[in-house]
Every structure is written in C-alpha cells, then in structure tokens.
A = this chain, B = another copy of it.
Amino acid sequence: MARLTRAESQARTREHVLDTAYTLFLGEGFTATSMERVAEAAGYSKGAVYSNFATKNELCLAVLDRIAAEQVTQLAAVMGDAPRFEDRIAGFARWADETIGDSSWTSLEVEFATANRRDKQVCEQLAQRRRTVTDALAELIRAQADELGITPALPADTAALTLLSLGIGLGVQRAFDPTVPVQPIVDLLRTVMSGRP
C-alpha cells in the first residue's frame, strides 16, 4: 500500500471522525454526545477532531448531509422501477417501516434543528438543506407519476412537503412511543399516487 500524502491522511482522519460521529449521534443523540466522546471512540484526541471540524454544530451538519444523501438514494432505489403500482407502494411501505420505524435519523435531525432554532446561521443551513430534500422528493414523485402515466392527486411540491412533514411527525413520536404506526404515511402516498390517469 502506497504511503498517504498529507492531504490524503487528513481526509482519512476526517472521514473516520465523521463515521464515528455518525454512529454516536444516531445512537445516543446530539446533546448526549460530547466531542470528547467522539474523539475517544474514533481513536484521536479532541484537538484532532477540532482541527477537522471547527464546531460541534459543523460536525453535526456534516453528519446530517450524509444522512440526507442516504435517504434520497435508498428511497429512489426502493421505489425504483417495479412494473406494477402496488409493488411500488409495497416497496415504499417496506422502506417506511425500516427507516421511519427505526426513527433515530429523524430524531437526530429534529433534535439538532430545534436545539439550534435561535441560531440564524444554523437555520439558514438547515433551510437550504430542507429545500434540497423536498425538491428531490418532488422530482421523484413526478418521475414516478410519469412512468405510471398518471397525474398526482396533489401538486408534486405539496405532496413532497406533506409526505416529508408526516414522516418527521411520525418519526418523532415513534422515538419515544414505538406503538405509533407507520401506516398513515403509506396511506398518504397511495392517495397521492392514485391521481387521475
């Protein structure tokens, strides 16, 4: 194996710290996880962490970016190109069950957002990311509707916002009460995709 350049070495450290923060923030929560703990679990010192991420918030935003990318990819893959309408809904139902069912990613997003709701800098970042996600979701809905040859029951933008909001709401409640069912969001998608042909 070739020796790493300084830049490669730093990128590796950064990635390693990000991996560790990803696991800890999702598992224990944002407030409950200290930077000390991240450094320790990653096998570095606190100083090393801070030389890659200026603040705890910046580290968490990087984790949230990774999560958002994963979600969009998974969602597109799972609804993908099943031939029949019901197969796509079933695919979504499976995804919802696994992903909203284990609602730790929703909890993390929401814990970070609400805890920093008075920080204009952070709010700006979160608002930008929010638009990116809803746009991607709306685009996915449009593409699915096209393939199925229907017009969604709601405008794609509205449908995307409603689905995302419902997912957040259900996920948050499931975080402290696992008896909350995931079904409502599957019903909503079915309604949305049962538009006029």
CB within 8 Å of B: which residues of A? 28-32, 107-108, 110-111, 113-118, 122-123, 126-127, 130, 154, 158, 161-162, 164-170, 172-173, 175-177, 179-181, 183-184, 187-188
Which residues of B lie under 8 Å from residue A188 when comparing CB positions? 162
Which residues of B lie under 8 Å from residue A130 when comparing CB positions? 173, 176-177, 180
Q: Is the CB of B127 within 8 A of A177?
A: yes
Q: Is the CB of A175 within 8 A of B28?
A: no
A-B contact pairs, 21 of them (CB 8 A): A29-B114, A29-B117, A29-B118, A30-B115, A110-B172, A111-B115, A111-B117, A113-B173, A113-B176, A123-B177, A158-B183, A158-B184, A161-B184, A164-B173, A165-B166, A165-B168, A165-B170, A166-B169, A167-B169, A168-B168, A169-B169
